[in-house]
């Protein structure tokens, strides 16, 4: 009997590879054998006849790929929480299931959110650059050297208030923030999921904002944690920045295009906001050394490392493999997205 074909678009951490390899007797495993992103033409060629494909967030899952795979395809397992690289309608109409990893990376991304807030407020990037350039001797300790806004007493505004946003809020409460507001696709309405029981038990107000304008104008820290959709693309743009407080910072741990980068550069140039901390940016990873955002001393940009703890990446890998295998056999996945 012919083996069931699966395609995996990256090398996997040992633990996850072991789970996959244990099925070698039943599976034909075709795997991209490099640490670099999978070549699109390789994927299109090898997808033919596959029953399952395990993809990274850098692989577009669209009509082109599904057509190339053909009628056998039953499951896509994405090594990510975000699924904006997947055309959900295209999967739905073919009854293809979608697995993803929404829970295991929450802590890692929430931790990075706090790092980026503090880096942006406390001028982490700018301070390190000053020392690294050997400028410290010319700028010795001074009462106003590298001063920035303090987190205690801040109003924190969340664009998107899902699991990662709420885990970030959980970490922010001990810092003594004053208030949290959030905007979801249902402005003004309280969210249903209280993932960590915070909303019920909070010692500070946690309230839905009625509009992006309200969130922009009232927040000292804006955290972008929403999915990328046509309605969130460039939600944080010129109008949003104009309404922000001059001492406010914006942090993006979601997807780059939610922030209009040109507008962010202008807002930083003109002092409309104090700083920014970005894990993601439009057109990543194609950010060359002469990109205007890199000339902004008050912007910290890291290369999409939100979930990059050893423990989390291990869990994401094993969960993705389990989702893939469950999808092949019609079993329950660890996490399946309802299409
Ligand atoms: C994801 O998995 O979608 C995240 O962007 C990883 O940090």
Q: pLDDT tens-digit profile of 77-86?
A: 999 999 999 9
Taking the C-alpha atoms of residue 211 and residue 40, their distance in angstroms, rounded to an integer, is 40
234 is catalytic: no
Provide mean pLDDT across the span 50-66: 97
52-55/155-159 β-pairing = unpaired
Other C-beta atoms lying within 10 Å of the C-beta of residue 165: 28
Instruction: Check pLDDT > 90 for residue 34.
Output: no
Is 116's C-beta closer than 6 angstroms to any atom of ligand 1?
no
Instruction: Give the nearest ligand 1 atom to 109 CA.
Output: 7
- C-alpha 254/C-alpha 251 separation (Å) is 9
pLDDT classification of 297: cutoffs 50, 70, 90 = very high
Query: Which pLDDT does position 239 carry in this prediction?
Result: 98
Mutation probe of ligand 1 site: the residue of 109, 285, 308 with most atoms within 8 A of C-beta = 109
Q: What is the mean pLDDT of residues 196-217?
A: 96
Instruction: Establish how many alpha carbons lie within 13 A of residue 64's alpha carbon, considering only the half-sphere containing its beta carbon.
Output: 9
- How far from the centroid of its chain's Cα atoms is residue 312's Cα? 14
Query: Cα dist. 75→11, 137, 271, 326 in Å?
Result: 19, 59, 48, 9
Of the residues 85, 234, 291, 304, only one is catalytic, namely: 304
ipTM given for this complex: 0.95
What is the predicted pLDDT for the residue at 202?
87
Which CB contacts under 8 angstroms, 24+ apart, belong to 332-338?
333/77, 333/97, 333/99, 334/99, 334/101, 335/99, 335/100, 335/101, 335/102, 335/103, 336/97, 336/98, 336/99, 336/100, 337/83, 337/88, 337/98, 337/99, 337/100
Q: pLDDT grade, residue 196 (50/70/90)?
A: very high
Q: Which domains does the chain have, with CATH numbers?
A: 4-104+311-329 (3.40.50.720), 106-301 (3.40.50.720)
The per-residue pLDDT of the chain, averaged, comes to 97
pLDDT digits (tens, 9 = 90+) for 119-168: 999 999 999 999 999 999 999 999 999 999 999 999 999 999 999 999 99
Measured CA angle at 174 (ends 171, 180), to 5 deg: 70
pLDDT class of 220 with cuts at 50, 70, 90: very high
Q: Give pLDDT, residue 1.
A: 78
Give me the helices (H) in 80-196, please: 88-93, 106-121, 124-132, 163-172
For residue 314, the model assigns a pLDDT of 97
CA of 199 to the centre of ligand 1 (A): 25
Question: pLDDT of 239-274, one tens digit each?
Answer: 999 999 999 999 999 999 999 999 999 999 999 999
């Amino acid at each position: 009997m012919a083996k069931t074909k699966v395609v995996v678009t990256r090398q996997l951490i040992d633990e996850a590879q072991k789970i996959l390899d244990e099925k070698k007797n039943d599976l034909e495993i075709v795997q991209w054998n490099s640490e670099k992103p999978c070549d699109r033409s390789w994927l299109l060629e090898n997808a033919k006849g596959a029953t399952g494909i395990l993809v990274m967030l850098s692989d577009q899952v669209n009509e082109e790929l599904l057509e190339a795979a053909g009628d056998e395809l039953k499951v896509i397992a994405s090594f990510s929480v975000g699924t904006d690289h997947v055309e959900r309608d295209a999967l739905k109409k073919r009854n293809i299931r979608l697995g993803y990893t929404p829970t295991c990376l929450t802590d890692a991304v929430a931790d990075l959110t706090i790092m980026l807030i503090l880096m942006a407020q406390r001028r982490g990037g700018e301070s390190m650059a000053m020392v690294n350039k050997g400028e410290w001797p010319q700028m010795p300790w001074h009462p106003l050297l590298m001063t920035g806004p303090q987190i205690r007493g801040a109003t924190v505004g969340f664009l998107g208030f899902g699991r990662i946003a709420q885990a970030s809020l959980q970490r922010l409460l001990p810092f003594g923030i004053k208030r949290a507001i959030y905007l979801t696709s249902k402005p003004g309405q309280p969210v249903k999921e209280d993932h960590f029981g915070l909303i019920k038990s909070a010692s500070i107000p946690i309230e839905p904002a009625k509009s992006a304008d309200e969130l922009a104008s009232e927040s000292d820290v804006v955290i972008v944690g929403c999915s990328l959709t046509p309605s969130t693309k460039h939600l944080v743009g010129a109008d949003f920045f104009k309404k922000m407080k001059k001492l406010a910072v914006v942090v993006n741990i979601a997807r780059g295009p939610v922030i209009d980068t040109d507008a962010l550069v202008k807002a930083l140039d003109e002092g409309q906001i104090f700083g920014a901390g970005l894990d993601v940016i439009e057109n990543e990873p194609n950010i060359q050394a002469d990109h205007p955002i890199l000339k902004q001393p008050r912007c910290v940009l890291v290369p999409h490392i939100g979930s990059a703890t050893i423990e989390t990446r291990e869990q994401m890998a094993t969960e993705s493999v389990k989702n893939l295998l469950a999808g092949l056999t019609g079993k329950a996945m660890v996490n399946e997205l309802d299409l």
